Amino acid sequence: MSENIVVRVENLTKSFSRGSEKIDVLEELTLEVESGEFLALMGPSGSGKTTLLNIIAGLDTPTSGTVTVGKNLISKMSESMLASWRTRHVGFVFQFYHLLPVLTAYENVELPLLLLPMTRAQRKVQVMNVLDLVGLSGRINHIPGQLSGGQQQRVGIARAIVTDPELIVADEPTGDLDSKSADEILDLMGVLQKTLGKTIIMVTHDPRSAARAQRVLQLEKGKLVKDSRNFSYVTGNAGN
């Protein structure tokens, strides 16, 4: 693998069975994502965007094919290994934030650090740094119910980056926000990519959000059909 490639997906297939019917969600998909790239995954509902994102993030396993993130062949890892790997290497941003409602902003961000061998003081430094980065250092003791949607999503982003992962995956991160808050979140993701050099893979339906990405991939019926940075890059069965 090239030094610059963070995610490599090769001949990825994901199928589900519904009764006797076999449904291919992803078919022989091959993809590479470079380090520090901001990639948008677009496509109609059911095209396999979220499934692809889940497999790259180690939340789901492929039916066949391989997925390598960094130097780790995650498609062969057990559930426990994947859990440990995710803590250190992947940050996940959800459409509906999914913060733990009983915890404060600070505690929600601290949650992934509890799984790492760190002292309370070390955790505090790291949590305060990322909350400062997302502009919420003044709201650390607020529970999610006391924050706006945009603020909750910023806490979600802080939680995703607090372990300093190389890869951030975001599933429609602006899907539940008004346009102003959505812009703020996209600005923030731009900062993460440009300033901190994070690799970001974002699933979105929104062309305005996708326009912020360096590269846009279009999926249809489980196949990669368009790459906006380089159309000739499309491999797999798309267009064949």
Partner 1 sequence: MNNIEKYLLELLDSPLQLGALILGMIAFLAIIVFANSYLFYFRLMFLNLRRNIIRTSLTAIASIVLVFVVTLVWTVLWFLNLVTSEKAKDFKAIITEKWQIPSQMPYAYEASLSEGAPGQEGDYKIDKSVDAMTWQFYGATIDPEKKTRDNIIFFFSMEPMKMTKMMDGMEEYSASQLDQLNKLCEEMVKDKRKIIVGTERLQAINKKVGERIKLTSFNYKGIDLEVEIIGSFPEGRYNQSAILNRDYLNDSLDDYNRKNPNSKHPMSNRNLNLVWIRVPDKDVFQKVERQITDSPSFTSPAVKVETASSGISTFLDAYRDLLWGLRWILAPFILATMALIIAVAISISVRERRKEIAVMKVIGFTPIQILFLVLGEAVMVGGFSGLVSSIATTMVINNVFGGIKFPIAFFPIFMIPIDAIWWGPAIGISTALGGSLLPSLSACRVKVSEVFARTS
Which residues form the interface with partner 1 (CB under 8 A)? Answer: 50-51, 54, 57, 59-60, 79-80, 83-84, 86-88, 92, 94-96, 98, 100-103, 107, 110-112, 114-115, 159, 171-172
DSSP 8-state assignment for residue 110 = H
CB of 102 to partner 1, least distance (A): 4
Q: Give the pair of three-digit tokens for residue 158.
A: 């802080």
CB of 4 to partner 1, least distance (A): 26
Strand ranges (DSSP E) for the chain?
A: 5-18, 21-34, 38-42, 64-69, 72-73, 90-93, 167-171, 199-203, 215-220, 223-227
- In this structure, what are the phi and psi dihedrals at residue 67, rounded to the nearest 5 degrees? -130, 125
DSSP 8-state assignment for residue 104 = -
Please, which residue, 154 or 159, has the CB nearer to partner 1?
159
SS3 72: strand
Please, which residue, 107 or 183, has the CB nearer to partner 1?
107
CB of 197 to partner 1, least distance (A): 22
Q: Give the pair of three-digit tokens for residue 187.
A: 């600005």
Per the CB < 8 A criterion, the answer to whether 204 and 218 are in contact is no
- In this structure, what are the phi and psi dihedrals at residue 69, rounded to the nearest 5 degrees? -120, 120
Please, which residue, 165 or 236, has the CB nearer to partner 1?
165
CB of 3 to partner 1, least distance (A): 26
CB of 14 to partner 1, least distance (A): 10
Please, which residue, 112 or 236, has the CB nearer to partner 1?
112
Please, which residue, 84 or 235, has the CB nearer to partner 1?
84
